[in-house]
Amino acid sequence: MPVSSLAPDRPSSDSCQRPDSVNGSAQEHANRSFFVTWVLSLTLGFLGADRFYTGRFATGGLKLVTLGGLGLWWIADLVIVMAGGLRYSDRPLSGYDSSKEIAWIATGLLLIVGYSLRLDQVIAGLLTQPF
């Protein structure tokens, strides 16, 4: 007699639905967009724009004052956003599943283009030139 025949019949976890009150309340509250958070983190992350957008005002202010932790905090937050670790109201950012591949590919291409154009040397040269 197989062991599976001894287990009680249960509906699969896919067919179980949460009560409408739980689903409805989660859908009523607007969640932050992954795509917008990623663009803010990529372009203005050193100023804390991604943190301000997701409601983290204290750490956004610290990131602004330290210019993204001199770039280290900026890069760490960009990776956290792209990996799906950043949450808003204890929920994942909306649109993460549909946009994560685009974000990873676009960020990788921007890094390759930036490295090939030697933008780090251009920016360092601009910053060290007297006005």
Q: What is the pLDDT of residues 53-104, one digit of tens each?
A: 998 899 999 999 998 888 899 999 999 999 988 888 888 889 988 999 999 9
> Average pLDDT in the 12-27 region?
47
Q: What is the CA radius of gyration of the chain?
A: 22
Listed by start position, the domains of the chain span 30-128
Report residue 20's pLDDT band, with 50, 70 and 90 as the boundaries. very low
What's the distance, Cα to Cα, between the start and end of the chain in Å? 86
Report residue 42's pLDDT band, with 50, 70 and 90 as the boundaries. very high
Q: Can you give the pTM of this predicted structure?
A: 0.67
Burial of 94 (0-12, 13-18, 19+ CB in 10 A): middle
| Predicted pLDDT at 57 | 92
CB atoms within 10 A of CB 73: 19
Angle at CA of residue 83, ends 13 and 58, nearest 5°: 110
